[in-house]
Amino acid sequence: MTSLLVADIAVLVTNDPAAGPGLLGEIRGAALVVEHGRVAWAGPAIAAPACDVRVSASGGAVLPGFVDSHTHLVFAGDRLADFTGRMSGRPYSPDGISSTVAATRAAPDEVLTANVARLLGELRAGGATTVEVKSGYGLTVADEARALAIARQFTDETTFLGAHVVPAEYAADRGAYVDLVTGPMLAAAAPHAKWIDVFCDRGAFDESEARAVCRAGMAAGLGPRLHGNQLGPGPGVRLAVELGAASVDHCTHLADADIEALAGSATVATLLPGAEFSTRSPYPDARRLLDAGVAVALATDCNPGTSYTTSIPLCIALAVREMGMSPAEAVHAATAGGARALRRDDIGVLRPGSRADFVVLAAPDPGYLAYRPGVPLVAGVWKDGRPI
């Protein structure tokens, strides 16, 4: 057995309230011990046990690896023209998804796989050690199954999103498309998926359609999660709570009843500030959610149309600057919050028994992620106790 000591840690973020004060369970002047890919010990450096190997954090902060619980990485092409138009004043519409669908359907497996690998490499370099990946740009039985099979090569956190939008060929018969999603498409996708998702919003799927999709996925053994309340007020949040969904994502336009429902549930509100940044839309009011006791996560929503970023640090900075979160709350949301959105308790924390997935910063405090936006502060990334 080889034990690893991570020493010279200015601040260790554990997200364990039993380990240290505050939301982040911080330990100052800390050390971390890793064995067999798991955290074996965390505490003050002066009390650290002897280990076989020692590495230095060089006076930087160490925190759990970021958990990106919402991405759309399996696609081809880009939507720069859409972005440029929005920056010139054109409002966002989900209609742009159709151009990515066409490009993705036409792309060979090798192109899609290489694109996922490229984007995942960017996410890893930015500190993300766990990444969820959705389908949703194929929208045929074969293409949705293909997208999920590709995603599963890179992560176990895969989500079937056949109910992203209604493709053009079904525009005159939405019911037939819902039947396809809940029937043959689900059957082909389920072997490669852990979750089922649906875009329940204006221009996508209504409440009854979204409920049917989620219930079919649940019957097939998939956990539900939803896109909701992004483009305006709607039923998405309340439907997610009704279904016991792990997460409802976007949550930009919330009524008091939505927040009340979330606060009394186990459903996480996953906020995606990259989407608001890239669409010039109002940001979600994270302060309102947190003050009500709602569990909040932050994720990139990496996709070619509305949030073409792989930077969790950027999302942390936006959450602090634009959404009313403190730096500690934003870091917690990007780590422990993301883990909760995936219903995981082995990641997003650094305590004995958890996975040794962690980030070393070239900065002495995690607050620097918001304090120095745009600066590459991630100096090292470790997954399962190994540098990546």
pLDDT digits (tens, 9 = 90+) for 296-347: 999 999 999 999 999 999 999 999 999 999 999 999 999 999 999 999 999 9
Q: Are residue 89 and residue 179 in the same domain, yes or no?
A: yes
Q: Are residue 130 and residue 112 in the same domain, yes or no?
A: yes
Please, are residues 156 and 355 in contact by the beta-carbon 8 Å criterion? no
- CA 350 vs. chain centroid, Å, equals 19
Supply 35's token pair.
Answer: 């064995």
- CATH number of the domain bearing residue 155: 3.20.20.140
pLDDT in tens, 270-306: 999 999 999 999 999 999 999 999 999 999 999 999 9
Q: Are residue 60 and residue 86 in the same domain, yes or no?
A: no
Q: Are residue 176 and residue 80 in the same domain, yes or no?
A: yes
pLDDT in tens, 6-36: 999 999 999 999 999 999 999 999 999 999 9
Mean pLDDT of 232-244: 97
How many structural domains compose the chain? 2
Tell me how crowded residue 78 is: count the other CB atoms within 10 A of its CB.
14
Please, are residues 368 and 31 in contact by the beta-carbon 8 Å criterion? no
Q: Is the pLDDT of residue 212 over 70?
A: yes
Q: Are residue 56 and residue 86 in the same domain, yes or no?
A: no
Q: Are residue 313 and residue 257 in the same domain, yes or no?
A: yes
What is the pLDDT confidence band of residue 367, given thresholds at 50, 70 and 90? very high
Q: Are residue 383 and residue 298 in the same domain, yes or no?
A: no
Give residue 186's pLDDT.
98
- CATH number of the domain bearing residue 7: 2.30.40.10
Q: Give the predicted TM-score (pTM) of the model.
A: 0.97
- φ, ψ of residue 308 to 5 degrees: the values are -85, 60
pLDDT in tens, 81-140: 999 988 988 887 766 888 999 999 999 999 999 999 999 999 999 999 999 999 999 999
Q: Are residue 358 and residue 249 in the same domain, yes or no?
A: no
Q: Are residue 163 and residue 41 in the same domain, yes or no?
A: no
Domain that holds residue 288: 66-341
Alpha-carbon Rg for the chain in angstroms: 21
Please, are residues 335 and 66 in contact by the beta-carbon 8 Å criterion? yes
Cα(262)–Cα(239) distance, integer angstroms: 10
Q: Are residue 76 and residue 219 in the same domain, yes or no?
A: yes
Orientation of helix 236-243 relative to helix 207-219, angle to 10°: 30
Q: Are residue 138 and residue 233 in the same domain, yes or no?
A: yes
Supply 47's token pair.
Answer: 């009390």
Please, are residues 11 and 30 in contact by the beta-carbon 8 Å criterion? yes
Please, are residues 168 and 204 in contact by the beta-carbon 8 Å criterion? no
Orientation of helix 236-243 relative to helix 256-263, angle to 10°: 20
Please give the single-letter amino acid code of residue 113.
T
Q: Are residue 75 and residue 187 in the same domain, yes or no?
A: yes
Give residue 137's pLDDT.
98
End-to-end CA distance of the chain: 21
Give every CB contact of residue 247 below 8 A, 6+ residues apart in sequence: 69, 70, 225, 226, 240, 267, 268, 269, 270, 297, 341, 342
- φ, ψ of residue 175 to 5 degrees: the values are -60, -40
Give residue 90's pLDDT.
83
pLDDT in tens, 181-206: 999 999 999 999 999 999 999 999 99
pLDDT in tens, 31-65: 999 999 999 999 999 999 999 999 999 999 999 99
Supply 370's token pair.
Answer: 């918001």
Cα(299)–Cα(339) distance, integer angstroms: 11
Cα(144)–Cα(298) distance, integer angstroms: 26
- CA 51 vs. chain centroid, Å, equals 34
Cα(204)–Cα(198) distance, integer angstroms: 9
Which one, of 194, 181, 192, 179, lies nearest residue 145 by Cα?
Answer: 192
Give residue 1's pLDDT.
65
